Chains A and B, each alone.
Chain A
Amino acid sequence: MSTTAATGLPTPRAHRRRTTGGGVNTLPLVAPSVGLLLVFSLVPLAATLYFSVLRYNLLNPAVGGFAGWNNYKYLFRDPALFYSLFVSVALVVEVLIITVGLGMILASLFETNFPGRSIARILIVSPFFVMPTVSALIWKNLLMHPVNGFIAWVTRGLGLGVIDFFTDWPLSSVVIIVAWQWLPFAFLILLTALQSLDEETREAANIDGAGPIKVFFFIELPHMGRAASVVVLIETIFLLGIFAEIYVTTSGGPGIATTNLTFLIYERALLAFNVGGASAAGVIAIILANILATFLVRAIGKRLDT
């Protein structure tokens, strides 16, 4: 590799760089990205803050003016808000457990050599390429439907009766769909990590007589730890915004069983066109996002920073 050749060059080891930036002005490098992002997050943020204290309903221009804290008052009085926070978190956590857990097992399986491995890998990765609305529609109507769905046909054939997914297990059903979409992502990253595991460690374990289960738990699993943190971080970002799957399958119901914060805001903004109320909920979401980001940084960021 060319990198080794490069490192072989006699160059001064630069420890002092760590804090000073090495005398290089990085501002012109970093500024375009950071500046643009600042504009694109601060301007809407300002607008959201401003709208959140207005009486502003798109459908009713006759109602207007300053609302003070009223939008927040109505929001906090609404039991749906707190429940939606719970749903948001539950959705993220459950999907994370499933995708990281199964992803590790799958990665370990795909590290072995078997016929048709690359084709099998292609099949397993495919769900990631499907649009969320499409996968939700397919799952709801062609697979999970209790009367004419494929799963109902199988369970009936096995004499197990029919599972009424979206009535009795609404949140779990959404979790299944979302996990199906994100498992390939976790799998890919974990597999990449596992492929960097050096062969000697593995062979040493084999010589010591460790079976595949032991190898998985004591050698592969610890090795995937860092990759798992990456999966957790990235997936959390996307899973908090899960919307299409809920919208298509349950519309947040029955009741508010599957209403997460994103869906709640959608409801306020695009079903009720209550821009004021939606903005207030948006402010809550922003606060939540920042708390979560700080938390994630503490928990995961450090592990990645070395």
Chain B
Amino acid sequence: MSMRSKTQPVAGSFAWLAALLMFFPIFWMILASFKTEVGAIATPPQLIFTPTLENYRDILGRADYLSFALNSVIVSFGATALAILLAVPAAFGMAFYPTARTRGTLLWMLSTKMLPPVGVLVPIYLFCRDVGLLDTRTALVIMYTMMNLPIVVWMLFTFFKEMPKAIIEASRIDGANVWQTIVHVLLPLVLPGIASTALLNIILSWNEAFWSLNLTAHDAAPLTAFIASFSAPEGLFWAKLSAASTMAIAPILVFGWISQRQLVRGLTFGAVK
């Protein structure tokens, strides 16, 4: 990391201005969550008001927040773990033993991500019904794994490519097999890369709102469904929605804040040379 010794007040003030502007919508939402429903849509907007916890109380009285949050955690972490487990060997193979088809395969993988999921809802729904996966976390873990696998493979591929090939050769000469090479030599080196890949995928899975709404009902419903139960009812809802949203994004926001240094370090995509 390059730390310049001199502080630069002009650049610094612009940076802070940008940061405050970017954060403002979230701040405004959190503020609204402490207003009354009428207060949230008042003109002119309320800047000074008596905060109320009414919205939070309402929401906790109505929905089992913990169950939704738990589902979100299990599904996004589970899917990420599974995707990484599948992707590490693939990325390793592609990075260290490329063939003529490697690049084509990688890009084909990425292109599968461009298919709009809504087009295949009916076949997937029928499939899940027939194998009894409707409203299970397993179904979501499978969908998210498949959804994120291309990105995971690609990100890991770019990390692995930056590793010097010589170490692999060395360990092979020592008589280690491919798996031992991966586990004992390579993984420790690419751990930062894996960590940031995982972080990115947890965030993407956490926010996914198509399959999570359409394949779940009660037992497996994650926080996106929690949000859908507070958005756009008949009547004023913005303060309550703000509170629900604050609750829904709080875990991932805190998680992201804690781990963002890690995220920054690992998000190179092989683009740093």
In the complex they form, whether A and B have CB atoms below 8 Å apart is answered with yes
- Which A residues fall within an 8 A CB radius of B? 2-3, 6-7, 9, 11-14, 17-22, 24, 26, 28-30, 32-34, 36-37, 40-41, 43-45, 47-48, 51, 58, 106, 108-135, 137-139, 141-143, 147-148, 150, 153, 180, 183-184, 188-189, 191-193, 195-199, 202, 212, 226-227, 229-230, 233-234, 237-238, 240-241, 243-244, 261-262, 265-266, 269-270, 275, 278-279, 281-282, 285-286, 288-290, 292-293, 296-297, 301, 304-305
Q: B8 near A113 (CB under 8 angstroms)?
A: yes
Q: A129 near B94 (CB under 8 angstroms)?
A: no
Q: B8 near A7 (CB under 8 angstroms)?
A: no
1/0 per residue, CB under 8 A from A, across B232-256: the answer is 1000001001100100110011001
Total B residues in contact with A, Cβ cutoff 8 Å: 113
Interface pairs (14), CB distance under 8 Å: A11-B169, A21-B99, A30-B105, A44-B115, A58-B122, A109-B11, A114-B12, A123-B22, A126-B253, A129-B206, A131-B207, A142-B238, A153-B43, A192-B267
The dominant DSSP class at the A interface is helix
1/0 per residue, CB under 8 A from A, across B85-126: the answer is 011011011101111100101011111111111111111100
- Which B residues fall within an 8 A CB radius of A? 1-9, 11-16, 18-20, 22-23, 25-26, 28-29, 32, 40-45, 86-87, 89-90, 92-94, 96-100, 103, 105, 107-124, 146, 149-151, 153, 158, 163-167, 169-170, 173, 178, 188-189, 203, 206-207, 209-210, 223-224, 227-228, 231-232, 238, 241-242, 245, 248-249, 252-253, 256-257, 260-261, 263-265, 267-273
A123 to B30, CA, bound (A): 14
**Nearest Cβ distance between residue A227 and chain B, in whole angstroms?**
4
Q: B18 near A106 (CB under 8 angstroms)?
A: yes
Name the residue on A nearest B153 (C-beta). Answer: A33
**Nearest Cβ distance between residue B225 and chain A, in whole angstroms?**
11
Most A C-beta atoms less than 10 A away, residue of B18, B100, B261: B18
Q: B256 near A51 (CB under 8 angstroms)?
A: no
A51 to B122, CA, bound (A): 10
**Nearest Cβ distance between residue B109 and chain A, in whole angstroms?**
6
A-B contact count (CB 8 A): 343
Q: B118 near A266 (CB under 8 angstroms)?
A: yes
Among B111, B151, B158, B238, point to the contact of A289 (Cβ < 8 A).
Answer: B111
